Amino acid sequence: MTPLEELQALADPAKAAEMSVYHKVDRPYLGVTVPQIEELTDRWRAELTLDDRIALAADLWRTDIHEARVAAARLLTQARLRPDEAAWQLIVSWVPDFDGWALADHASIAGQKRLVADPSRLGLVETWVTSPHMWTRRAALVMTLPWTKQNFPKEQDLAIRARVLGWCATLAPDRDWFIQKAVAWWVRDLSKHDPKGANDFLAAHGEVLKPFARKEASRHLQAQE
């Protein structure tokens, strides 16, 4: 069986119908769970060369089947990937297709690994902040979440944190719920490791955020008081 046929063999029509309602995005669903997909992609990664893996990821994404797109992202979610430029370019090519949080998050986690591997790619990601496509704007924040989590950031990491907080400030007036949530997510996660940085951001821009986002961004800060 081809990889796509392996996915299709696991289809559960009842679960597929539930997923279609849950995700609220009009595309084919198979009803395959993420752990089932990961079991397949772990094996495919072990069996395929990097070039073949990238080609398979591209083919799976093009099907527009939800689980196939999850599998495509999982195939490229790996910290050590050399060379990785082709994988990065493929992930970038998917960003305009983002139309819901689930697939956007799976692909963005793959993108996180490539940004950490080569932070010079942030120059491209920065251009997404002003994109007319909401999911592209959101991806700029989701893909840079690793810089909120470091306990011992280097000077370069601190500079990147400050840079992305600038993106958060640019996006704070954006009224879209998903953008508000993404800004809150970034600042909330940062507050666990850099409470001063999070506090300073909220002091300067918190009033611009919607109340729910401001509350979410400050959740861990309130617990520390």
7-36 pLDDT, tens digit each: 999 999 999 999 999 999 999 999 999 999
Q: Under DSSP, is residue 138 helix (H, G, I), strand (E, B) or coil?
A: helix
Helix axes 85-94 and 66-75, enclosed angle (nearest 10)? 150
Query: Would the pLDDT of 124 be above 80?
Result: yes
CA nearest 137: which of 182, 173, 92? 182
Residues 6+ apart with CB under 8 A from 116: 79, 146
Query: Would the pLDDT of 119 be above 80?
Result: yes
Concatenated DSSP letters for 56-103? HHHHHHHT--HHHHHHHHHHT--S--SS-HHHHHHHHHHGGG--SHHH
Residues 143-156 have pLDDT tens digits of: 999 999 999 999 99
Residues 184-212 have pLDDT tens digits of: 999 999 999 999 999 999 999 999 999 99
Q: What is the mean pLDDT of the chain?
A: 97
Q: What is the total residue count of the chain?
A: 225
For the 1-117 domain, the top CATH level (class) is: mainly alpha
Query: Would the pLDDT of 109 be above 70?
Result: yes
Give the CB-side neighbour count of residue 191, counting CA atoms within 13 A: 23
At 224 the pLDDT is 57
Asked whether the whole model's pTM tops 0.75, one would answer yes
Residues 44-94 have pLDDT tens digits of: 999 999 999 999 999 999 999 999 999 999 999 999 999 999 999 999 999
Which ranges in the chain are annotated with CATH 1.20.1660?
Answer: 1-117
Which ranges in the chain are annotated with CATH 1.25.40.290?
Answer: 135-225
CA nearest 94: which of 131, 135, 53, 33? 135
Share of the chain above pLDDT 70, in %: 98
CATH number of the domain at 135-225, please?
Answer: 1.25.40.290
Helix axes 134-142 and 101-117, enclosed angle (nearest 10)? 50
